[in-house]
Structure 1
């Protein structure tokens, strides 16, 4: 009886404590989207949906869109207020680098109709034509000060209306059988195109793929059109929308879609240069999605999917279409929890479906708890209108999602993603490691203490392993990435670090799974750059996490450059030093690992062919048999621990210039050389910018023929600066761009900017001052002699000599 009494007493106090703990916990629900959305009124369209920011984004949101001003510069805006009321509006216009304030103004006349506020920005005649500026709009609602951003362009060459019409007809025509035949005018169907999936289609896809195959797909709600880019010749338009189809059981399936178009204006008409559609199915978690040995995710792309299992494999956390789920495959009755999603049953979709965020699964415990990050733009909840990183934990025992902390970062989603893809790792002892802006941070998820592990890192001087358990970085105190005396290797799970030193300067290359790859730079060549402004290495080493040697590679008389990791392969160019402090090409080589390439993020993910939906993705699970899986949402959202953390991210003024690559309406990456950037976006008709948003290269913005007058005189000063050429050198009125490695056709872009193209053949320097469809024309700036070469012959001639070009880009003033 005493034992029974003691057990009853323990149970009483446990339940009382647990009840008190729950009573003291601050529970909430995630509020519905609340902030207004602003649009540009452009003819028949409401263009450029601008989402509200509650933080000052500076110039970071400049790439979201561009607005072409009407000739009278009176810019009409429509604000969908929802439950807000715009009390006042103001605006300011600055140069893209924010260095000059051009104009400030206020709006006194605000009219209202059907829940919308209409206003006109009376932009003055203070801006230059054909020069882009940043427009910052501020709306006061009483409850909030809201910030909206767009670039603006005032030009006499506004061809955007024709581009918008073509894009809108193409997208809507894909749903309309009576008008869809017009689409065939633009298609460039190829037999080699992949016509097996509706998740991704382009101009090379079949007509049947473009019109959604046999699905009977129909649009749902509005089409949201954004002018992503326009420079007078090239235009890039994005249309996002929701669609649905009815399956054989009469159930609706819903999809989110994004169509991206690239146009070029020629004197005759507007040409569609590229079309790219991505589609992913909204995972509803219905019972039919769980059957047999599969969780069927539906139509999509692997970029949308991530899977992580608990060590005992009882629990599977998976991300699909920006929603996070956890499936319990150990229970007698199957159970799935929709842990997180911004999607809403009451919102019209423009806010809840806004896709500038993503989810990173950090860990899944054997108890079913899930740690995860949500990063980018916050669509709803207490941080709506901010960009940053949210750290959450799903507590399985309480069926509660707990917000632990929020890091506000005034950068757009693509830039936040770019940093977190380099490092976002949660160790077993609760330390969250992040890479951001050249620094490595460690955050204790229990005490919320922040430790800066390393700072001042060059982006290419840092790397993480496939699992991100191991990181490596070069000495941040080194002169540059080519003159580091040591590399630090850290095991984030054990918090143990090791250093590699000796043999010369060290150059971090990357990882092959958990094996570190680095090179040794011979001090004899440590000051001799290649023509692409790189210092070659003399030895390649691959070591394990314990620094044990796996393999090494060296050849007498040869050096290696352009070393790059691609899966289990290591590619590099061989060069040999020659007299005069130069190098000559000696071929290419590849080191191949015998390890199987795996992607832990897609563990257990497969696909099958559905007779209607075509390629469908699924996750392998234990056989359900006759189980009926129920799907639920967490009972509570806890804000008890919610805190804000400031990483004190500062802009490093000494960072080397980088090239920013864009295509299909999205940031594709930043690189140290123009050649690397243009390779990222060439196939997608993309473009490359500097950090200040100036165009460096654009595949579409190129006329069919150009002739530069007085080419030798124009190039006289730039020719004197060639000996100092790095990757990009900026002077008062122009920049010189190292375009080594670009093919001739791509390098001819620079003639369209008003300067001749500097080109090398063997030891001689020439100026290409004219081209058309058949010929190019060169002049020797020393002798003045001119020469005409056929286009095909010229391309072969320069390719054989290494495609050594230097472009000149004038600054817009």
Structure 2
């Protein structure tokens, strides 16, 4: 019996050990993402690409969408076509089957179909399709349209979008010469001797930063533009994108990769170059040149020492989110997401559409972004991917996907997907504005100027704040709190997204309240006596704040600023400082006069994380970026993981109807040299940004509101000039009334402007009610030279002066503006520099319009 008992004990021990070993093996396989039944690697890209061919040059590669997009919010590239209306194209199929080719031409705002034609005559090889087609005589010269190429693919009907413009001549805005120029300029930068020919195009001066290769522009030194002493061993052939083109100017993007020798390794960098050119019969002028260079961090040739993760030449504005103790953190490098769990010596590559040394243009397309939402102590990461989906489950769709990385099983799982029909860049801009997840797994995001709450557990959505983008709203630094004011300015609401609680701050009787922003997590707002609200030259209210307050999340007042007899009209908040623009009240004149500015400094020091991003100088690399870690990294013990994606049945889509009403306030989209720069409800802010960028402003209908440059050498509105010459008794009438009369008469409208002004209508209100087919643009604060865009189009610009009078800007040449002054009755030329000084001293108060049907 005793022998049997011993044998039984041994058998049980062996059995227990065997079960333990099997369990360890299963867990091990799960932790490395090898369980094919539960996880899989992201599927490869399958959609084809389409390029246009211009004199044997391929330009503007297009990527396929599996859903019909909102054309009024698709920007993309543009292709000019000549008098014959012919278009040559090339489709790269990557070995996939492509059938049923056709194309559509639609109005640029998507309002109507101009042409729909099947394509029959094309040549097909193993991985390419080439052909050409001719548009019907149904389009207007100089107007932009949307061309949609359609084809059936192995995963669905795909659409490829590009703007087109018919130029009615064979020059086609000189696209071939300009493409040759930007390509040759780019290639020459790798050879200092060849580049000397192009040195005359540079404007090297003190504005250029010659301390970093990450950002280089036309003001940088010749040596900086030609890569200094970097050992570049290879560079790929650039992809050329035509982003904007007009009669006088053209804008281009070049994207390629370089390899730089670093010790025994060759490291890869993404390069993006932007060019803006002006073509003349004599030569090409380089108006703007910008270049960005960013290291592609990878898990094979990374540089990690005991306390530093090296990111070489990169943008220092690096996204890094850490756990509460800092033992785990996630960071984004060139649109790829990584997580380091220092306590467990794990480095995981969590997400990215392109792999190391991947030359597939489809996976490298950068119309998407990653937003880190949360990192916990175990190294679990919640994140969102917004924009165009290059590959995987949602290939060819635009939307926001929320993912969860589970460190225990080393797998990434989709939590929700919100589809969108907007331009990927617009969606990325919204997500950059606010994307936040609380501890209850509720994801907050802005879509089309509304804020939504998406429950990641049951995938339901609710609207939190409607049309917040149309009014004044502010978001705290952590995105944990949003604040917005009521339409009547009697109160403001502050919502804590973590707790979902809303608190209200109400103004006292006779007062108004204005939300100004956040200093860290503390809200800044101002109080205004209603009796102190006066109108500016345009008739718009000026809210002069007598009191500025800073309030924490618990409602405690941290700062109460109320200078005696001085009012604040605007503030800017940066780091721990509030800068205030101030005025004093001239009771007799009934207006405000500028006085010296002031500032409020916070005594609280900005909190720094345990792991920090820093910039250091390193010989030939100049400034490089690195992550300094809280604790030592055991580099020899570090394990590199590449998680797979968890498989699931069905979908995890969240449907949100973001369609806006036609009567809602319009928005303005600013596109700079390298893409979208911002979305504004105020056209003045949009134009100011586009002027600095430089770039363009388009409205909700995808039509231009403003373009940098592209001016004729001179122009004068002769209709208004003639009307001014015969205007009866001009100098005896109110100058504002005369200017409005001339504008309305020019547009064929006759109204009693004097009685409207006497009745209290503002200049804006009179123009808005009198020109129902126009978009009225209050461009207060914009530089005078930006107004020449409108006079170039024969649209008068009204400028209000401090003495209550007004003038019209109706023309210009290289040296002068052409003004119509009702107080003198004269139309005359005034020096360009003198004009800028005159209007700047009078506050740059401009108002104009554009006709919506143009």
- TM-score of the two chains, using structure 1 as the length reference: 0.91
Secondary structure of the 1:644 match is coil
1:760 pairs with 800, 808, 813, which one?
A: 800
Q: Retained in 2: the 8 A contact 1:560–1:572?
A: yes
Separation of aligned partners in 2, 1:674 and 1:150: 25
Quick check: 1:224 aligned with 2:201?
A: no
CA shift for structure 1 position 382? 1.1
**2:561 alignment partner in structure 1:** 553
2:287 pairs with 264, 273, 277, which one?
A: 273
Residue 599 to residue 42, structure 1, CA distance change in 2 (3 Å): farther
Secondary structure of the 1:792 match is helix
Deviates more, 1:650-659 or 1:231-240: 650-659
Q: Retained in 2: the 8 A contact 1:357–1:378?
A: yes
Residue 351 to residue 437, structure 1, CA distance change in 2 (3 Å): same
Quick check: 1:239 aligned with 2:254?
A: yes
Q: Retained in 2: the 8 A contact 1:25–1:638?
A: no
CA shift for structure 1 position 486? 2.6
Deviates more, 1:776-785 or 1:169-178: 776-785
Separation of aligned partners in 1, 2:851 and 2:283: 28
| CA deviation string 1:602-643 (max 9, x = no partner) | 950012122232211000125647732545333431023751
Q: Retained in 2: the 8 A contact 1:440–1:455?
A: yes
1:485 pairs with 470, 486, 490, which one?
A: 490
Residue 346 to residue 199, structure 1, CA distance change in 2 (3 Å): closer
Residue 309 to residue 772, structure 1, CA distance change in 2 (3 Å): same
**1:88 alignment partner in structure 2:** 100
Quick check: 1:296 aligned with 2:310?
A: yes
Secondary structure of the 2:236 match is strand
Q: Which of structures 1 and 2 has the bigger CA Rg?
A: 2
What 5-or-longer segments of structure 2 have no aligned partner? 724-741
**2:142 alignment partner in structure 1:** 130
Separation of aligned partners in 2, 1:328 and 1:175: 40
Q: Retained in 1: the 8 A contact 2:73–2:702?
A: no
Residue 527 to residue 99, structure 1, CA distance change in 2 (3 Å): farther
Residue 680 to residue 450, structure 1, CA distance change in 2 (3 Å): same
Deviates more, 1:416-425 or 1:285-294: 285-294
Secondary structure of the 2:83 match is coil
Q: Retained in 1: the 8 A contact 2:580–2:598?
A: yes
Quick check: 1:744 aligned with 2:765?
A: no
Deviates more, 1:701-710 or 1:181-190: 701-710
Q: Retained in 2: the 8 A contact 1:706–1:752?
A: yes
CA shift for structure 1 position 407? 1.2
CA shift for structure 1 position 733? 6.0
Deviates more, 1:170-179 or 1:566-575: 566-575
2:846 pairs with 785, 805, 811, which one?
A: 805
Separation of aligned partners in 2, 1:724 and 1:29: 62
Quick check: 1:695 aligned with 2:704?
A: yes
CA shift for structure 1 position 524? 3.7
Separation of aligned partners in 1, 2:245 and 2:427: 25
| CA deviation string 1:10-40 (max 9, x = no partner) | 9969987996997896322101111101001
CA shift for structure 1 position 396? 1.0
**1:508 alignment partner in structure 2:** 515
Secondary structure of the 1:108 match is coil
Q: Retained in 1: the 8 A contact 2:81–2:164?
A: yes
**1:35 alignment partner in structure 2:** 47
Q: Retained in 1: the 8 A contact 2:459–2:653?
A: no
| CA deviation string 1:495-518 (max 9, x = no partner) | 332111132333222211011112
**Alpha carbon RMSD of aligned pairs, Å?**
3.3
CA shift for structure 1 position 406? 1.4
**2:629 alignment partner in structure 1:** 621
**2:727 alignment partner in structure 1:** none
2:652 pairs with 640, 643, 658, which one?
A: 643
CA shift for structure 1 position 671? 2.4
1:321 pairs with 334, 340, 344, which one?
A: 334
Q: Retained in 1: the 8 A contact 2:151–2:157?
A: yes
**1:795 alignment partner in structure 2:** 836
Secondary structure of the 1:653 match is coil
Q: Retained in 2: the 8 A contact 1:660–1:671?
A: yes
**2:726 alignment partner in structure 1:** none
- TM-score of the two chains, using structure 2 as the length reference: 0.87
| CA deviation string 1:199-256 (max 9, x = no partner) | 1100011111111111132553331111101121121111111111222x23111011
Q: Retained in 1: the 8 A contact 2:669–2:697?
A: yes
Deviates more, 1:150-159 or 1:649-658: 649-658
**1:364 alignment partner in structure 2:** 375
CA shift for structure 1 position 262? 0.9
Q: Retained in 1: the 8 A contact 2:400–2:417?
A: yes
Separation of aligned partners in 1, 2:321 and 2:506: 36
Secondary structure of the 1:794 match is helix
Quick check: 1:448 aligned with 2:459?
A: yes
Residue 106 to residue 314, structure 1, CA distance change in 2 (3 Å): same
Deviates more, 1:514-523 or 1:393-402: 514-523
Residue 321 to residue 456, structure 1, CA distance change in 2 (3 Å): same
CA shift for structure 1 position 142? 5.2
**2:433 alignment partner in structure 1:** 422
CA shift for structure 1 position 290? 0.6
